Structures are given as C-alpha cells and as structure tokens.
Amino acid sequence: MRLDPSAWRAILRIAAIWRPGALLLVAILMVCVGHSRMALALPSYARQTGQQCAACHNGFPELTPYGRLFKLNGYTFGGSTSDYPPIAVMTYGSFNHTHADQPGTNPHFGPNDNFAIDQTSVFYGGQIAPHLGAFAQLTYDGIGRGFALDNTDIRYARTASLFDAETVWGLSFNNNPTVQDVWNTTPAWSFPFVASGLAESPAAATMIEGGFGQQVAGLTTYALWNRLIYLEAGGYHSLSPRIQSALGANAADNNVLEGIAPYWRLALQHDWEQNSIEAGVFGMTANVTPHRTYGFGTDRLTDIGLDAQYQFLADHNSFSVQASAIFENQNLDASSAAGFASNGHNTLRSFHAKATYYYDQTYGATLGVFRLDGTPDATLYANDSGNNSPNSTGLIAELDYIPFNYGGPAFWRWANLKLGVQYTYYPEFNGMTGHAATDNNTLFVFAWVAF
C-alpha cells in the first residue's frame, strides 16, 4: 500500500503534536477554524451527502453499512450542493419518574417526577479538508449545569488497494475509548442511546465503559480490508488537570492514566443483500493512579471485550441485534494501599444485549438487558445488605417514533426528531435485591431533536 505525499504530511503533523493535552487543543482548533469546502444522526452530514437520515441510521443513532463507511472514510463523503456550514444542534428533554423518591440525588431537582432539558449540544460534523473530517461535540449538561467538550473524533482517511482489494485506512484522534468505533456494540455507542440523568445508576463499571471519557487524548490507526477485516490499534493518555478543567471534564477524584494505555480492536464483518453481520474483540490495558492519590504506586486494569452484531435492513422492516461482553482484571495495589479497596485483586464482568425492530424507519421497539457482576469488596462496593457486591441486572424496554427519518419538515428538511418512552426494571441493583433494587426502576419519556 503506497502513501502519497499528502498522506505522509498529515501523519507527520499528527505525530509532531502527540503530546498529552497539546494534541487535543490543536485538534479542537483544527475543527473550529478548518477551511471546510462543504457544509449520531447529524443534519450537517445529511446536508453534506444529500442523503436522508435513514441512509446512515437504523432508527438513529444506530449506523447502517453506509453509515459505517461514511465514518471510516473520515466523514468526508459528498454529494450535495448545500452551502450551509457543517454545524448542527441537538437537544433533548425528558420526564423522569422512579419507583421510589430519590431525595438529594441532584440539588437542582426534586426527589421525583422531574421535567428536564437534559442536554443541548452544538456539533461540528463533516469535512474539514480533503480526506479530513470530524465529529466534535460541545455540550451543555442541563442536569449538572455545566459546559464540556463531549465526544470528539477527528479523522484522516484514505483508500488504497491491498492484495487487489479495497482498503480504507486512517487515523483517529479522539477523547473517549470506543467513540471511534463504527458498530453499536462497544460502550460509547451502545444502547440505551439516551437515559435518565436524574435516576441512580449502577455504581460499578469497567474501565472502558466511560471511565476515561473526555478526560484523555487518544490516537489510533485503523484499516478495513475488502469490507471484511477491520484492525485498529493505538493508545490513550490522560489530559492534565488544567486542560481537563478548560474542557469541562475536571474532577478532584478523577483517575489518571500513567503513561500510554494501549487500545486494540479486531472485527470481521460481511454484508450481503439486506443483511450484515459482525463479530469482534476489543480491549484496553492501563496503569492507573486512583483518584489522583499519588505515593502508593498504580493499579493495573485490563479490559477484554467480545462483541457481535446482526442487521436486516429492508424497505419497510428492519431488525438488529447487538451484544457485548467485557471482562476486566483488576490488580489494585495502589487502591488497597490507599484505602480505596479492601482486596488487592478483583474481577468485573459486564454483559449488554439488545434487539430492535423498526417499521418504515418510523416506529421502533427495543428490548435490552444488561448484567454487571464481580468480586465483592467491602470498601469499593459497600452496601446496606452487607454483601458488598457490585452486581446489577437490568431490563430496558423502549418505544420510539421518528417522523422525519426520510426528510424533515418543509421549513428545514434536514431536521430530525425522536420521541421515546423507556422503562428500566432492576431485579438487582448494586448487590441488593427486592425493594432495594426495584425502588430504582425508572420511567424515562424523552423528546430528542436535531437540526
């Protein structure tokens, strides 16, 4: 595979700034001031490509085969003559009800039955320059009442021929492990796509399930060969407290990656007629200083994930299934020495699965299940039952209505709207069962609009 001079120049520019923190700031500047020649289901992408939302998304934001290729090719596909800049806005509001009141959960809201504007985001979404594009999100959190740089993925991508087969290769600079992934099985883009920010959620989570989202800078390189084999590898480093504060992601008890944390991904996929299937493995390993508490060494965390996906996409009926399992090995030398954990070694396992049906890309129903379980730890997972277990099990049912997947209203045909009702049932919550678990059952009614 031969690289032309422009490819080498792009690689050298990125390599030259591969320093913690500086890389993220330079990339943000590129997004803000890059000279675009063209103008999640972002309307800016629809304007750029001239495609309907349903071309890229199966009941947004789940990606279709075309949507996955669009992302892998650096968000640069064209096809439209729109002169609008590649800017989009998204917001969603909700009504939240839990089975039992949760007083003191959030100082800005009552103990139950709350209406909220959960989130409002501005996106730069589209081509920056030939072969270079971005998904960059600035978010106002209506629950926590603050601004932050949200998920960001900036890509340089090219196509080539390798062993007489089409190969898409590229570089992704991003701030959340798995946000660059194109399948809706890995943590950043898995179901539920929106959830209540006011209800309590399970306390335990593996490192790769958002533990370092928006707190790190990462650079990975990837290739999709013959639309069959996908390979990706790279690493992440924690941003400094000053840069995290500037980007709205700082907290006094954030964990810190020491050195570079390697990330890897392998997937096999096959598309035929109206079907597509994928199976893969992903993972990350890291030396971690817990809660910025220095002087006790580091913990060693290793996550290995398995995932699979199937999609059937027809003119009026679509069906998809996604599943993932993540296994985390925790050597907690620093946490146990500093008093954050009782055990020197723990394991944690996470399982997620969901099935979705859509009629005419308008009426949808999803049923999901998740399970967290692992080693009891009297300090990490102390609970009222005394079993000190991280275990949680949940069932999620959701009904959706998307009226504009084939084109928005006459005054703004790129707009999209998703109305949904979601209910989460907990037979087990943070190691507790019975009423202690089901009191956390949550009804979440939302309206999600992008324009």
Question: Are 406 and 315 within 8 A, CB to CB?
Answer: no
The total of other beta-carbon atoms located within 10 Å of residue 79's CB is 10
Measured in residues, the chain has a length of: 451
Task: Show the domains of the chain with their CATH numbers.
Answer: 5-450 (2.40.160)
* Residue 139, both tokens: 């978010």
The total of other beta-carbon atoms located within 10 Å of residue 266's CB is 14
Nearest to 88 by CA among 41, 56, 52, 50: 41
Residue located via tokens 């590898």: 233
Residue located via tokens 């129903």: 365
* Residue 327, both tokens: 């296994």
Please return the burial class of 34, using the count of CB atoms within 10 Å of its CB with bins 0-12, 13-18 and 19+.
middle
Q: CA–CA separation, 429 vs 305, rounded Å?
A: 23
Q: What is the pLDDT along the chain (451 residues), one digit of tens a residue?
A: 444 444 444 444 444 444 444 444 343 333 333 333 223 567 888 888 888 777 888 887 899 999 999 999 999 998 877 778 889 999 999 999 999 998 878 889 999 999 999 999 999 989 999 999 999 999 999 999 999 999 999 999 999 999 999 999 999 999 999 999 999 999 999 999 999 999 999 999 999 998 899 999 999 999 999 999 999 999 999 999 999 989 998 777 899 999 999 999 999 999 999 999 999 999 999 999 999 999 999 999 999 999 999 999 999 999 999 999 999 999 999 999 999 999 999 999 999 999 999 999 999 999 999 999 999 999 999 988 889 999 999 999 999 999 988 877 877 777 889 999 999 999 999 999 999 999 999 999 999 998 8
Give this prediction's pTM: 0.89
